[in-house]
Amino acid sequence: MIAVQLFVNGLIAGSIYALVASGFSLIYATNRFVHFAHGTTVTVGAYMLFTFFSLLGLNFFIAAFCTVVSTGLLGLLMFLLIYRPLKQRKSSNAILLVASIGLMIFLENLMLLLFGADVKTLAYIPVRKGIELWGAIITPLQIVIIATALLLLCFVWIFTKYTKLGKAMRAVADNEELAEIMGLNARAVQAKSFVLGSGIAGLASVLVVLEQNIEPVMGTGLIIKGFTGAIIGGISSLPGAVLGSYLLGIVENFGIWWLPSGYKDAIAFVLLFLFLLVRPSGILGISKGIKE
């Protein structure tokens, strides 16, 4: 059935969007500004995986681990070298937004300079015949992508709810000044949120590269979709960002049932504008903090 196939395709796309959106939402909730360079972190992660696996010949799982660590360190560097100095100068959110766009452009061009404009692929998992599931065709790789994304998202939710650092992130997200009064180092918590959020972006890049090509501008489209999913579900809510991302993936794929596939991005923007106009706080209606 076409409807079942479109739903499965929506789950696959939504899983990638959810990983990008969850890291983006985590950073936004604790720092309170839009980090558009988060999408380019996915791009850097893709090229790091290509370097570790294809150029250096490391075992794939070791290469994937090194990729996640590298993107986490990249997030930390971006916070320490760019965002923290701006925050210490009491820069407005508009300045931080411009800085994030500048970082995005810089990193994209750096990847272009280092690796060239030609498309690269990672030939690790060979193409296999799809499995028929309730009338839809899905490949083993796509099942791995959905399962990995869901497991990681569950881990992030448990981490933010039950661990000491997760509770500290929620406290800073809810009220930074009060968290400081209670003895928390808000800047340290914000830095750790960049490490965790960027590490999640690194894992997203691993899953994306297994199925798609690598190119310098790949992260721009992903951050647009991740940002849209976060807005739909609730930008400062982790569960909301995940819910919104899956909804976006499903709506996109059902939308191209009636419209040409080139309209997929337009569908995402229409959905974004609708939520900004009708319900800017998102589906879960959370205005701030990392809520349950």
- Each residue's pLDDT, cut to its tens digit, for the chain (292 residues) gives 688 888 888 888 888 888 888 888 888 888 888 888 998 999 999 999 999 998 998 999 999 999 999 999 999 999 999 999 998 898 888 899 999 999 999 999 999 999 988 888 887 766 566 677 666 777 877 888 888 888 888 888 888 888 888 888 888 888 788 888 888 888 898 899 999 999 999 999 998 888 888 998 888 888 888 888 888 888 877 888 888 889 998 888 888 777 776 777 788 888 888 888 888 777 775 544 444 4
SS3 26: helix
**The amino acid at 281:** S
131 forms beta bridges with 138
Q: How many C-beta atoms lie closer than 10 Å to residue 263's C-beta?
A: 14
State residue 185's pLDDT score. Answer: 87
State residue 262's pLDDT score. Answer: 72
State residue 289's pLDDT score. Answer: 44
32 to 92, 219, 237: CA distances (angstroms): 11, 21, 12
Biggest alpha carbon distance in the chain?
Answer: 58
State residue 64's pLDDT score. Answer: 93
Q: Output the six-digit token pair for 99.
A: 């800085």
Do residues 44 and 114 make contact, with C-beta atoms less than 8 angstroms apart?
Answer: no
State residue 126's pLDDT score. Answer: 62
Q: Output the six-digit token pair for 32.
A: 């309170």
Residue 234 carries which DSSP code? -
CA–CA gap between residue 21 and residue 235 (Å, rounded): 8
